[in-house]
Structure 1
Amino acid sequence: MSSADSYLRRLRSKVATDRLEAARYFAENAKPADEKALREAASQESVAWVRNALARAIDRLSPEPGKAPPRGLADRDDLPEGFASQVHAEALETTTAQLIHEIEPLVGSLRLSAELEVQNYDASSTKENIDRLDDFLAALSRLRRAASAPRLDEFSLDELVEEIIQTVDLPAGLEIQKSGPQHCIVVGDRTLVQMSVVNGMRNAVEATVATGAELNELPIAVTWGRTDRDCWVSIVDNGIGFKGNLSRAFDIGTTTKDGHMGMGLAIANQSIASMSGQLLLVPNERGVRFELRWPQSKEA
């Protein structure tokens, strides 16, 4: 069986990630003979990520005689909603995967050599710098996961929020005020939501501690819920506020904190964008509201 035949079979899979991988294959390798099957798959596809990848596959095929060649992406006004952001996400996922593949073994070899060759390695600046490289690779892995096609399923949002609060390192005296429905079952990618909420919680804690004030006077409010249309989590702190350029807050490498890589908000934003949702940073008179929303649907 040829590769094309194998991927055509995967287009009929009940698993969305299998269909997405097949659609991405045809986006790069589609032949005119595949067009009928691709159009049939596109007409039946309910997941936007897969549908848009199929649209690219169909678009790359040789035009029929007398038919105008496909326009470039920049000239088109008939692209599906969210098409550009999904192309960006796929490029981000591919790039981070390649970086991890190339860098990870080099860092491993560097650590092994340093442990053998550097005296008092555990207390050395060499170890500190290699640890930062490991942290960078871990951040790249989270960014890759954030950019991947979401794995949608039902989960308990209130249990997830409670789990995150229990794992965040809270300084003595800092109170978390929680408010939201119990047994709040939502649809989404639990891992992507978790990465976003963890980032929001850590930022809220750091901003509150940075005030230097009595922590018991500066509680952090965490609320959550769902409607017929969407699901949401909101984290409101009374900290020092957002000190950078708000319009660039989600750019990779943007940070105002010493020792930070500036990837946390980028990962959080991409995680929610992958579910066709939105992350909001809203400065208050004191502190910031960190709010994420995503559609209550299995068709992100």
Structure 2
Amino acid sequence: MQNHDRAELCTRLHSTSPHERLSAVRDLSRDLNAEDIDLLNAALAVETTAFVKTALKSAIAKLEHPQIAKSDPADEKEDHHHRNLAEWRAMREVTGSLLHEILPRLGSIEYEAGRSVDNYAESKLAAKIESLKELMTAMQQLQEVSHPRKPTDFPIYRILKECVSEEGAGDLIKYDGDTKLVVLGDPNFLKLAFCNGLRNAVEASSNARASPIVVTWGESEVQYFIRIIDSGPGLKGAAKAAMTLGRTTKQGHMGFGLSIARTAMASMDGEISLEANNPSGVIFSMKWYRP
């Protein structure tokens, strides 16, 4: 990159427009030099917009850990999202190896148990095996979202409707958004994140049938967003803990759902968040960058 181009990027980094600052960070991240670290840190010190701060931190991490950025050049070439490649690689290796070893054995165990145990479907063994199958499904989903993909254009309303239909929640949902809005991202990752959030909202609202679950979506200058708003009992404990892999406050749950949703959105340079709804319930938010 020429010096005059970097001077222009420096100017854009301090623009009054968050969208322009975000665009500058992305452009700079495609051709980082060691001397850019001071420029990025200076911009981060005064940045107030959350998504721009995230992009700046990602760019700084690429400079501080160059061996990670170089470890998967094909992904870097095809996808300009800034992600922690070390995390993706570790996730692929660990989940891939475990699935390869466990899935065939689990299928054999279930088959033999069905033949050997009287009234198997009602037995405690069947419940334990079903729990293991749920765990394997979660691991498969984590494996899937650990592979970066090239973003595509798609109508967001179609994805939301598909998920609501699959969850059998049509009678519980009130939609509020532009049904013709087309967004850029990965529809499979988005659906995976949304379905996990919706599943929690449906379960939380099982005793609050008078209040529908509101699904709203839209776009701003710098991002797309989806919100799922329920009227259930609300958050139990810290929101951050609820999104930690293996942590849950719900009996019979393994604590994978929100972590999977978080990972899926991170693969699109996005994020999820949980906050209390007034007077009761939870607001599950999904946000990711616009191009």
Hey, what's the Cα distance between the residues in 1 that align with 2:162 and 2:107? Answer: 32
Contiguous gaps of at least 5 residues in structure 1: 1-41, 61-79
When residues 185 and 112 of structure 1 are mapped into structure 2, their CA distance, relative to the original with a 3 A threshold, is same
> 4+ residue runs of structure 1 moved beyond 3 angstroms?
57-60, 80-83
SS of the counterpart of 1:281? strand
In the TM superposition, residue 228 of structure 1 has moved relative to its aligned partner by 4.3
Indicate conservation of the 8 Å contact 1:89/1:274, yes or no. Answer: no
Length, aligned pairs only: 225
In the TM superposition, residue 240 of structure 1 has moved relative to its aligned partner by 0.5
Rg larger for: 1
Identity %: 31
SS of the counterpart of 1:243? coil
1:160 corresponds to: 159
Which residue of 56, 64, 67 maps to 1:56?
67
Hey, what's the Cα distance between the residues in 2 that align with 1:181 and 1:293? Answer: 16
In the TM superposition, residue 271 of structure 1 has moved relative to its aligned partner by 0.4
- After superposition, the CA RMSD in angstroms is 2.9
SS of the counterpart of 1:221? strand
TM-score, length of structure 1 as denominator length: 0.67
2:198 corresponds to: 201
When residues 123 and 158 of structure 1 are mapped into structure 2, their CA distance, relative to the original with a 3 A threshold, is same
Within the alignment, does 1:252 sit opposite 2:249 as a pair? no
When residues 59 and 107 of structure 1 are mapped into structure 2, their CA distance, relative to the original with a 3 A threshold, is closer
In the TM superposition, residue 244 of structure 1 has moved relative to its aligned partner by 2.7
SS of the counterpart of 1:256? coil
Hey, what's the Cα distance between the residues in 1 that align with 2:199 and 2:178? Answer: 23
1:177 corresponds to: 174
When residues 167 and 59 of structure 1 are mapped into structure 2, their CA distance, relative to the original with a 3 A threshold, is closer
SS of the counterpart of 1:241? coil
SS of the counterpart of 2:169? coil
Contiguous gaps of at least 5 residues in structure 2: 1-29, 33-57, 72-79
Which residue of 288, 291, 297 maps to 2:285?
291
In the TM superposition, residue 119 of structure 1 has moved relative to its aligned partner by 2.7
Cα displacement string for residues 180-213 of structure 1 (whole angstroms, at most 9, x for unaligned residues): 112211110101100111111111111122xx34
When residues 118 and 98 of structure 1 are mapped into structure 2, their CA distance, relative to the original with a 3 A threshold, is same
Hey, what's the Cα distance between the residues in 1 that align with 2:188 and 2:70? Answer: 33
